[in-house]
């Protein structure tokens, strides 16, 4: 195993589809519960989707405001770039109070015929205790991260594999959607992805520099988000009620009415991911409506995009990215059973 500095954990499973490993595997400091795909489908094969009329349905308006962005508690992994804490001013915007559900994504697919990256590639990553698939469809696990399995036929309609369905999961967050899939949904819905700054500001719910959307303490007797309890990755005591996804309405909303920002599923943001993003802009005080500079080939499936909030696999002993300041990323084509998204919009 590669030697990594403390706090950097080689937790990125590689879904090896026969080609060379992407260069970031092993060098990127542990995107914990987020496996990276190395897909075979060409980037230009994303189904074209026409833009829907602007809609703020299901969204709440966040007023203009200034907040301290970043990790004020010294909790973060250095390589995630949660520092320095810096002041950010945001124009008013709208953001979904809940993650996009399976029912909503089904309406999108029905209207457009859209096929996700996972469907076109025929495989996606499923957490080992959740798999519902024939042995022949469980293709492989990854060295160092055996809890992620590449499962043939795992996609948004079959979140645990071919033998699963979303029949009972209509109100759960859609998963196995790539950044590109999330963008297509937003376009159809007359929305857009939130910027990373918008996501963090909204997740803070009006609290100043708190660790979580509700304050600094993880749980006072009752769980307030869906993460992992027990011994990762074998034994989950299910104290919070869920092994994998919880309904998007589970637990209490934050001060802005947002639900499940931390825990449950990772949420894609608009920005390209750069570890040095905060350091590079921190001398502007405050920085106004920040968004990472788009890479020159912005539609490149290999561009790493920001994910926020952590997932049902996060656990203090292994990956504490269930904090509002925590950052992670994955390539724009990647999908797994713990990555979803919510939408935003400009204020009109
Ligand atoms: Ca849980
Ligand atoms: Ca979340
Ligand atoms: Cu995590």
Q: Is 321 left (phi over 0), alpha (psi -120 to 50) or beta?
A: alpha
The vertex-328 CA angle with 288 and 347, nearest 5°, equals 35
Name, in order, each residue with C-beta under 8 angstroms of 252's C-beta and a sequence gap of 6 or more: 214, 224, 259
Those residues whose beta carbon sits under 5 angstroms from the ion ligand 1 are 226, 240, 242, 312
Query: Which pLDDT belongs to residue 45?
Result: 61
Beta bridge partners of 14: 36
Residue 100 to residues 28, 97, 103, 305, 321, Cα–Cα distance (Å): 28, 9, 8, 18, 21
| CA 1 – ligand 2 centroid, Å | 30
Query: Which pLDDT belongs to residue 67?
Result: 98
Query: Which pLDDT belongs to residue 309?
Result: 98
Residue owning tokens 């006072």: 220
Q: How far apart are CA 31 and CA 139, in angstroms?
A: 22
- Give tens-digit pLDDT for 9-43: 333 343 333 332 232 222 233 445 667 876 765 55
Residue owning tokens 């026409």: 50
| CA 18 – ligand 2 centroid, Å | 32
- Give tens-digit pLDDT for 234-263: 999 999 999 999 999 999 999 999 999 999
Question: Contact 261/293 with Cβ under 8 angstroms?
Answer: no
| CA 320 – ligand 3 centroid, Å | 6
Q: How far apart are CA 224 and CA 12, in angstroms?
A: 27
Q: Say which ligand is closest to the CA of 173.
A: 2
| CA 242 – ligand 1 centroid, Å | 4
Beta bridge partners of 346: 93
Q: How far apart are CA 201 and CA 295, in angstroms?
A: 24
Provide, rounded to the nearest whole percent, the portion of the chain with pLDDT above 90: 80
| CA 300 – ligand 1 centroid, Å | 33
Residue 86 to residues 19, 68, 190, 259, 279, Cα–Cα distance (Å): 41, 5, 31, 25, 9
């Amino acid at each position: 195993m590669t030697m990594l500095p403390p706090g950097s954990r080689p937790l990125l499973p590689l879904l090896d589809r026969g080609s060379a490993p992407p260069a970031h595997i092993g060098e990127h400091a542990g995107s914990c519960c987020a496996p990276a795909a190395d897909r075979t489908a060409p980037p230009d094969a994303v189904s074209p989707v026409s833009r829907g009329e602007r809609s703020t349905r299901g969204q709440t308006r966040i007023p203009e405001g200034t907040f301290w962005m970043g990790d004020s508690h010294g909790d973060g992994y250095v390589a995630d770039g949660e520092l320095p804490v810096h002041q950010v001013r945001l124009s008013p915007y709208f953001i979904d109070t809940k993650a996009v559900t399976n029912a909503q994504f089904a309406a999108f697919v029905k209207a457009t015929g859209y096929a996700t990256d996972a469907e076109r590639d025929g495989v996606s990553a499923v957490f080992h205790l959740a798999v519902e698939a024939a042995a022949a469809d469980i293709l492989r696990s990854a060295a160092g991260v055996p809890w992620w399995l590449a499962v043939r036929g795992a996609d948004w309609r079959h979140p645990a594999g071919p033998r699963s369905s979303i029949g009972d999961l209509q109100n759960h967050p859609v998963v196995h959607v790539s950044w590109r899939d999330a963008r297509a949904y937003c376009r159809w819905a007359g929305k857009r992805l939130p910027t990373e700054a918008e996501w963090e500001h909204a997740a803070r719910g009006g609290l100043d520099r708190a660790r979580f959307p509700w304050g600094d303490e993880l749980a006072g007797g009752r769980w307030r988000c869906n993460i992992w309890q027990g011994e990762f990755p074998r034994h989950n005591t299910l104290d919070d009620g869920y092994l994998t996804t919880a309904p998007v309405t589970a637990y209490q909303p934050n001060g802005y009415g947002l639900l499940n920002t931390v825990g449950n599923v990772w949420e894609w943001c608009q920005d390209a991911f750069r570890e040095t993003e905060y350091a590079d802009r921190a001398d502007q005080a405050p920085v106004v409506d920040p968004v990472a500079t788009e890479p020159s080939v912005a539609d490149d499936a290999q561009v790493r995009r920001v994910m926020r909030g952590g997932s049902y696999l996060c656990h203090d002993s292994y990956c504490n990215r269930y904090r509002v300041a925590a950052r992670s990323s994955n390539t724009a084509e990647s999908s797994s059973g713990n990555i979803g998204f919510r939408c935003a919009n400009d204020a009109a």
